[in-house]
Structure 1
């Protein structure tokens, strides 16, 4: 009974927080924010090109200094080729990208009343971003009617193209597990035309990755510690990659108070 009451109270709190969500950006055209690194990437290309990939939900982009410290110092994140960020605004995205010497693309999903700032997903890359788009996801949140979106980018790695998605699916209070599967399904449908794909972010669900598995994706972040107080919700799915070894994925356990989420990472070899 106590567990049921706690769950009900948690849902009520999350729903109330959702009610403070502001204006949806329904256009697939934007707002759109991009930037290129001051120094172009000059990394050498290898026959078996390896990419280090990371995803980090930086809670409302409130503690960017701490997040930058984590991204610069943690051995698993330092020097990542692609970083997927969620709950970002445009100025924080630009600041992180410029500090790390990376290009970026950012699309907000909503203007959030809690922070009075934009709220959305970013893709940061050391390799050139050849193309990008915003994908508006189905199923508005209960009560708040807030939408979710994914930021997609095509990254040119040597002579190969890699399609990358930074994702933030609906919360447990906002939408059902079936709705989150639908949301991921829209992204997977867009990704079906690409042979090399990275999908990562805050999935708000421990099991939604089975939808990707069923389509032949690898799920290197499936096992590990909880990434939030609600479970292991942050993940990366890969297609067109091989894994160099069984230890080529993990969770950053100390994020220096930057977020209520832990960062996840993996390493893949392009096939």
Structure 2
């Protein structure tokens, strides 16, 4: 087991500004890393940044990640959706660069009404050029597998392999692993050795050092449900133990953990952050 600590934090609201709101909430919940939206997560509008807020966040020393909007689908057969998706990814990457983000998380998308092969050809043709535009000091594009709903291009960690092939294993591509998504897609994290098997399979699919972020979420639903309903850490079907197992895995050493758990006030989020820190800090020495 590595002694490199993974920072623990959460997705933070940014009312009043990315730095003003985000860093205040981070302090309230004890976050060591944060994730933010840089535009409306449920719309296509692209918000402009505020240079003073960007600079404060960039200079804060807090590891920052961006979650792009939920509508993005690089595999969509709809030309308008594809165009808006690519524009939104570019915007999130540009804003991420401005605030010093380590990565921009996107959902991997769905083939909707056409074949998996057609959708993946489109990912190669249209998303790869966007990745190639990322400057050397810019954020990585982090692919987040989905919960296993119909026609998803990537749900299990094994399905990251073809997605990385479509993007030619570009060095600016990484992975964000959501524990609730993985559980919903059928990875039994509660089984003996289940976490190790899942992370080992991820590394086998995409190669070493590609896992850059963990979305640490418990689940309201059983394994393999295909339903993405988050629960607070330890209060759901996954429970606390698998999160301790994640901290133990050498491929996770130093990878930030970000909660996206229920609650509209600091208290439940502070408790989740404290729980994860306790699991991390109480691991036996190797």
Q: Which TM-score bucket, shorter chain as reference?
A: 0.3 to 0.5
- TM-score (norm: length of structure 1): 0.36
Higher helix share: 2
- TM-score (norm: length of structure 2): 0.35
